[in-house]
Amino acid sequence: MCGIVGYIGRRQAAPLILDSLKKLEYRGYDSFGIATLGSHIEIDKHKGRISEYAGGIRLNGTIGIGHTRWATHGVPNDVNAHPHMDCNNRIAIVHNGIIENYAELKKELAAKGHIFRSETDTEVVVHLIEEQYAKTPDLLSAVRGALPRLKGSYALLVIASGADCLIAARKESPLVLGIGDKEYFAASDMTPVLEYTERAIFLEDGDIACLTGNGVDIYQDARPVSRPVELIDWSPEEVRKGGFAHYMLKEIYEQPQAFFNTIQAVDKSSLPEFVCQSSSVTVVACGSSYHAGLIFKYLLEESCGVPARVDFASEFRYFLPPVDGLVIGITQSGETADTLTALRQARVHNCRTLAITNVLGSSVSRVADATLFMRAGPEISVAATKSFVAQLAVLMQIIDARSEGRYEEILLHAHEAIEEVLLMDLSAAVEQCRSAESIFYIGRGPFYPVALEGALKMKEISYIHAEGYAAGELKHGPFALLSPETPVIAICMPGETYGVMVSNIKEIKARGAPVIAVGSDGDQELPDIIDRFIPLPKTHPFVQVLTSLVVLQILAYQTAVALERDIDKPRNLAKSVTVE
Ligand code: F6R
């Protein structure tokens, strides 16, 4: 799970690639490197982040490749950083993915005399290409000859001395080509390329592309193929911070728009029949997307009486699969390996599959029978915010379609309530949280997954231990951890769950833990029994799910700011998890 970029054209490649890699750092940021091709290959690579690297990169050449890494095989250091080179420093490659059979290939190649410098799986690929390049002067043929030996996933970029081209190949890892005016780009996604062109070609699995200064040729099984050029309407401005201190804050503020745009974009009248009529639904997803699936389950069952099952995509294979039903894969990036695998398995069991994603051309749309795109725009911060709210917009539209438009008016105006909570003063709650050892989040019904998501946001960006619980579960063990240093955040909205939530809150207070309650404005009872009250606008339960989520995102954000955390790039994480 890394970011890769390649360029061929008239400009000096190194500065352009360095700048592009900064925009892909959300995919991995423990080391980076660039190789360029002028009269020969020059290479520079470093441990650490690009933004923290004080030295300059002085490499010559108008062809180049670059990489920003999230380590899987081998610790982050200068040697394991990409690009990797062959024995004679004639070929350089960057790779995103995992080569599963690298150990046996490494043994075989080492026995033939190849010198390995790094601990990475990637390095075997460049030595395999080296073997082929010794037999043919054509780099494209050499790469084509090497790839069948690889098991696993890859997006690869290759350059070589004596070859006036850049070779790109993909299998199960994302790779998009940018088509400029006599200049061409290859990258893990379009965010870095939008600066130069909005015209994109999404490579298919098994495609190998040869980019020269005059154009792009794409092959599948050695046969030329043509792939459509698509226009990407994300503006470069959208991928800039635009005056906000962090991308996460910008993206939190973009949520009303993201929700509204997505509601408008999902045309309920043209949803596939199997989405609207299936008598059972299974959702597969990871992380925040899994929480969106759980919220959907509660709302769908309550509104439409349709049973829904929600599985972690990574666990789906260990359960009895649903047969015949609808399986929805939710993934903002469209590249999460576990979600892709789960959808493939669902198809084996004759399920109809629907993907919900934010990224046009992403792998999930190739795996599922149908895809619904959210309109969140590019999300750069590692923590999901606006993509999460946009996922809910798609899911709520499905519920609305299945309920004959019962929620249409509510959904069309939901963004107004989200806007209202953006400016709330949470400083007292932040003060309580920033010194906490642990924080519990509790809720019932659809507010239970809201609690899970609030806790996930808090732990991933503030590094405070935080757990979401179904409110009724806290007394079955976690009560032992309650103390004045473990605040409990209770989402307590009017409705069916209110009375029992209040009882749960009283039980917690009786054990000495401070309670911050997220409730409905005008509540007469709650403020008297808790420590801090966060009042949200009185609205429909669907909208309260959204507003409570957003307020918990802001609480996590402000706590992380108070603790001076690295908000957009939390330690050890990356935005798109392309390994199982
Ligand atoms: C948390 C977060 C992750 C992702 C998860 C799935 O803020 O962003 O938990 O939700 O990695 O990613 P996608 O939705 O791309 O499949």
**CATH number for the domain that contains residue 249:** 3.40.50.10490
Q: Give CA–CA dist 203/226, Å, rounded.
A: 10
Q: Which secondary-structure segment (H or E) carries 108?
A: helix 102-111
Residue 240: per-residue pLDDT = 80
Find the 287 Cα to ligand 1 centroid distance in Å.
5
Angle at CA of residue 106, ends 100 and 107, nearest 5°: 120
Same domain, 130 and 261: no
Whether 466 maps to a domain, the answer reads yes
Please identify which residue in the block is written with the tokens 């890394």. Answer: 2
In a domain, 428, yes or no: yes
Atom 12 (ligand 1): residue with closest C-alpha? 331
Contact between 328 and 371 (Cβ < 8 Å): no
Protein residue with its CA nearest to atom 7 in ligand 1: 383
Cα separation of 385 and 1, whole Å?
A: 21
Per-residue pLDDT tens for 485-542? 999 999 999 999 999 999 999 999 999 999 999 999 999 999 999 999 999 999 999 9
- Token digits for 559? 């706590």
Last residue of a domain, one of 237, 259, 291: 237
The answer on 469 and 329 residing in a single domain is: no
Give the distance (Å) from ligand 1 centre to CA of residue 355.
15
Helix and strand numbers, DSSP H then E, in the chain: 17, 25
Using DSSP bridges, classify how beta strands 63-69 and 3-8 pair: parallel, antiparallel or unpaired.
antiparallel
Taking the centre of ligand 1 as the mean of its atom positions, its distance from the CA of residue 22, in whole angstroms, is 20
DSSP 553: H
Which residues of the chain carry a pLDDT beneath 50? Answer: none
Verify whether ligand 1 is closer than 6 Å to residue 385 (CB atom). no
Q: Taking a C-beta distance cutoff of 8 angstroms, is the pair 253, 242 a contact?
A: no
- The single-letter code of the amino acid at 86 is D
One domain for residues 406 and 426? no
State whether 163 and 275 are in the same domain.
no
Q: Kindly report the number of other CB atoms within 10 A of residue 67's CB atom.
A: 30
336 CB near ligand 1 (under 6 Å): yes
Q: Where are the alpha helices (DSSP H) in 331-489?
A: 337-348, 364-367, 386-402, 408-422, 427-434, 447-462
Cα–Cα distance between 387 and 396 in angstroms, integer? Answer: 14
| First vs last C-alpha separation in the chain | 10
The position carrying tokens 């009042």 is 535
Give every CB contact of residue 211 below 8 A, 6+ residues apart in sequence. 6, 8, 165, 166, 167, 168, 177, 184, 186
Compute the distance between CA of residue 143 and CA of residue 154 in angstroms, rounded to an integer: 13
User: Is 323 contained in some domain?
Assistant: yes
The answer on 152 and 122 residing in a single domain is yes
Minimum-distance ligand 1 atom for the alpha carbon of 336: 16
Domain holding 19: CATH number?
Answer: 3.60.20.10
Q: Which of 222, 237, 252 is the last residue of a domain?
A: 237
Can you tell me whether residue 20 is helix, strand or coil? helix
Say which residues have a Cβ less than 8 Å from residue 313's Cβ, sequence separation at least 6. Answer: 284, 285, 286, 290, 329, 336, 338, 339, 341, 342
Q: Is the domain of 56 the same as that of 96?
A: yes
569 in Cβ contact with 329 (< 8 Å): no
Q: What are phi and psi of 141, to 5 degrees?
A: -65, -35
Is the N-terminal amide bond of 83 cis, ω within 30° of 0? Answer: yes
**Ligand 1 centroid vs 373 CA: distance in angstroms?**
16
Identify the H or E element spanning 43.
strand 41-47
Per annotation, catalytic residue among 2, 286, 351, 433? 2
| Ligand 1 atom with least separation from CA of 385 | 7
> Taking a C-beta distance cutoff of 8 angstroms, is the pair 386, 251 a contact?
yes
- The residue whose C-alpha atom lies closest to atom 13 belonging to ligand 1 is 331
Residue 417 lies in a domain: no
Look at residues 433, 477, 478, 472 and name the one whose alpha carbon lies nearest to residue 455: 433
* Number of other residues whose CB lies within 10 A of the CB of residue 279: 9
| Beta carbons within 8 Å of 88's beta carbon, 6+ residues apart | 130
**Does residue 286 line the site of ligand 1, with CB under 6 A?**
yes
Q: Where do the H-state alpha helices sit in 255-322? A: 255-265, 273-277, 287-304
Task: Please confirm, yes or no, whether 457 is among the known catalytic residues.
Answer: no
| C-alpha of residue 121 to centroid of ligand 1, in Å | 25
The answer as to whether 393 is a domain residue is yes
Distance CA 488, CA 133 (A): 62
pLDDT at 360: 86
Residues 265 and 169 in one domain: no
Same domain (yes/no): 295, 182: no
Residue 323 has phi, psi (to 5 degrees) of: -115, 130
- CA dist 566 and 360 (Å) reads 29
**Token digits of residue 237:** 């401005």
Last residue of a domain, one of 207, 237, 267: 237
Q: What total of structural domains would you count in the chain? A: 3
Rounded distance from Cα 54 to ligand 1 centre (Å): 31
- 107 shares a domain with 56: yes
In a domain, 34, yes or no: yes
Instruction: Give the 3-state DSSP-derived string for 396-440, with helices as H, strands as E and coil as C.
Output: HHHHHHHCCCCCHHHHHHHHHHHHHHHCCCCHHHHHHHHCCCEEE
339 lines ligand 1 (CB under 6 A): yes
575 is catalytic: yes
Predicted confidence at residue 73, as pLDDT, reads 86
Which residues form the domain of 347?
241-412
CA atoms within 13 A on the CB side of 330: 31
The answer to whether residues 405 and 447 belong to one domain is no
Q: Same domain, yes or no, for 288 and 346?
A: yes
Residue 197 beta carbon below 6 angstroms from any ligand 1 atom: no
Cβ(461)–Cβ(439) below 8 Å: no
Tell me: do 537 and 503 sit in the same domain.
Answer: yes
